[in-house]
Amino acid sequence: MFETAAKRAVLRSHFMDWGSFLFGAVTGGVLAVAVVAGVLTRRVVRLRAAEERARRQERLAELGALTGGLAHEIKNPLSTIGLNVQLASESISDSALPEDEKATLVRRVETVSREATRLANILNDFLRFAGRIKLAPADADVRETVEELADFYRPQCDIHRTLLRTDLPSTPVEARFDPALLKQALLNLLINATQAMAATDAPTREILVRVRVETPDPTRVSRTPQTPEVVLHVIDTGPGIPSAKHAEIFRPYVTGRKGGSGLGLAVTRRIIEEHGGRIELFSEEGKGSDFVVRLPVAGPLTPTDSSENDDARKTLLDRLFKRASTS
Q: Find the range with the poorest average confidence among 115-119, 177-181, 211-215.
A: 115-119
The DSSP string of 201-257 is --S--EEEEEEEEEPPPTT---SS----EEEEEEEE-S----GGGTTTTTSTT--SS
Going by their DSSP bridges, the two strands 163-167 and 206-214 should be labelled as parallel
Measured from the Cβ of residue 49, the count of other Cβ atoms closer than 10 Å reads: 10
pLDDT tens readout for residues 24-46: 555 666 566 566 666 677 777 77
Rounded Cα distance between 148 and 183, Å, is: 9
pLDDT tens readout for residues 141-187: 999 999 999 999 999 999 889 999 999 999 999 999 999 999 999 99
